Amino acid sequence: MINIKQISSKDIWEDFVLNQRFNSHFQSWSWGDFERNQGNKFENLGIYKKDKLVGLLPIKHVAAKRGKYLQLRHGPIFDFGDKELLNYFIDFISKKAKNEGYWFVRMSPLIPLDMEDSYSEELKGFKHCSLHNNDSELTWVLDIDKSEEELLAGMRKNTRYYIHRAERDGVEIEKTKDMKKMEEFWEIYSDTVQRQKWTAYSRDYITNEFKAFSKDDKIDMYLARYEGKYIAASLIVYYGRQAIYHHSGSLSAYSKIPASYLLQWEAIREAQERGLKWYNFWGIAPIKKVKGEYILEKGHPWEGLSFFKLGFGGEPRQFIHAKDLPVSPKYNLTRIFELVEKKSRGY
């Protein structure tokens, strides 16, 4: 017998998530707290088989310009190989969406891309999400269970050079949880958004996310200072066995000072100190391997940033693309909106 009920215990939720092969901060209890603090409805539901917890459903209720939908970021969380469980989830979530007046369900489970065909029959009612690289399904990860010498040796030559040059130039890296430093972070982030023409997160969004993960020592703000001025910044999330390179930026006026390279190196070293296995550089542009070398898609909006990330060494990790389960004809409006948006951003 399978049933679904609300989970109110952070320990029960976290224990299940952290025992999965892959996990991320989107699946964490802290992320649910963050969403609720943003004023969003967010449910932490558990799937039980004969009173045994076998899966989790982190469900965000979204009412946006693009449409009304239920979103499971890096969810649902259970063994997709259990076809009975998978079919039960699909039936449950489709009925829930219909009954509550939503247009569709969007999910992006952490299922490796090479396993997608194994579930094609069960997922035949789902459509390929029209957004590009939704929830960073393609990331660049570095195994940091190595000595510093090995890590440096595995980097691109120029990356090593820029790390050492930043040190020689007197760049200093500060690691903090001081909320007062958000002022400096926001100045740097805003400058980068204008330069890169990103769609920016709001200051409240980033601030509240920082607060939510600070409570459990799962985030740090890294600031690079040069001649008394903060010129680069990053927020690094620690979750499971990985450190995740999240929001970041650098000041345009100091583009010739390679502060971001040293900042990343110090964050990697901190992740090692915490005993973590992976440093996750997060999303990258489409990539392919040619004659033993990874080649990024030319002209992609993320090409430059992705090139920076690849310089530290590592490998790609790719999960299945986000999938949508339509439950209303209005879903077509969302699809048209997102396809136009995707094209306008150059993806």
Taking a C-beta distance cutoff of 8 angstroms, is the pair 235, 217 a contact?
no
What is d(CA 32, CA 63) in angstroms, rounded to the nearest whole number? 17
In this prediction, residue 269 carries a pLDDT of 98
Q: Break the chain down into helix, strand, coil percent, rounded to 5.
A: 40, 30, 30
- Position 346 pLDDT exceeds 70: no
Same domain for 51 and 185? Answer: no
pLDDT classification of 137: cutoffs 50, 70, 90: very high
Strand 242-250 relative to strand 278-283, pairing: parallel
What's the whole-number average pLDDT of the chain? 95
In this prediction, residue 255 carries a pLDDT of 93
DSSP-based three-state secondary structure for 109: coil
Same domain for 33 and 115? Answer: yes
pLDDT classification of 250: cutoffs 50, 70, 90: very high
Residues 6+ apart with CB under 8 A from 2: 47, 48, 49, 84, 85, 88
What is d(CA 278, CA 281) in angstroms, rounded to the nearest whole number? 9
In this prediction, residue 347 carries a pLDDT of 66
Average pLDDT over residues 167-196: 94
Same domain for 330 and 262? Answer: no
Same domain for 80 and 176? Answer: no
Same domain for 233 and 295? Answer: yes
pLDDT classification of 182: cutoffs 50, 70, 90: very high
Residues 159-179: tens digit of each pLDDT: 999 999 999 999 999 999 999
In this prediction, residue 194 carries a pLDDT of 87
Which residue do the tokens 């090479």 mark? 114
- Position 196 pLDDT exceeds 90: no
Beta-strand ranges (E) seen in the chain are: 2-6, 42-49, 52-64, 67-72, 77-78, 104-107, 127-128, 138-143, 172-176, 219-226, 229-239, 242-250, 278-283, 287-290, 293-296, 315-318, 323-326
- Position 149 pLDDT exceeds 90: yes
pLDDT classification of 326: cutoffs 50, 70, 90: very high
- The CATH number of whichever domain residue 194 belongs to comes to 3.40.630.30
In this prediction, residue 181 carries a pLDDT of 96
Residues 12-29: tens digit of each pLDDT: 999 999 999 999 999 999
Least confident of 126-130, 236-240, 261-265, 272-276: 126-130
Residues 46-71: tens digit of each pLDDT: 999 999 999 999 999 999 888 999 99
Around 300, how many Cα atoms within 13 Å sit in the side-chain half-sphere?
A: 18
Same domain for 149 and 256? Answer: yes
Same domain for 46 and 155? Answer: no
Same domain for 8 and 127? Answer: yes
- Position 278 pLDDT exceeds 90: yes
76: cis peptide before it, omega within 30°? yes
Same domain for 184 and 288? Answer: yes
In this prediction, residue 223 carries a pLDDT of 98
Same domain for 173 and 283? Answer: yes
What's the structural domain count of the chain?
Answer: 2
Query: CA geometry: angle at 186 spanning 184 and 190, to 5°?
Result: 125
- Domain coverage including residue 124: 2-133+320-344
What is d(CA 267, CA 333) in angstroms, rounded to the nearest whole number? 42
How much is the pTM?
0.94
- DSSP at 129: -
In this prediction, residue 15 carries a pLDDT of 98
Phi and psi at 147, nearest 5°, equal: -75, 160
Same domain for 204 and 87? Answer: no
What is d(CA 213, CA 211) in angstroms, rounded to the nearest whole number? 6
Residues 70-121: tens digit of each pLDDT: 999 999 999 999 999 999 999 999 999 999 999 999 999 999 999 999 999 9
Same domain for 63 and 95? Answer: yes
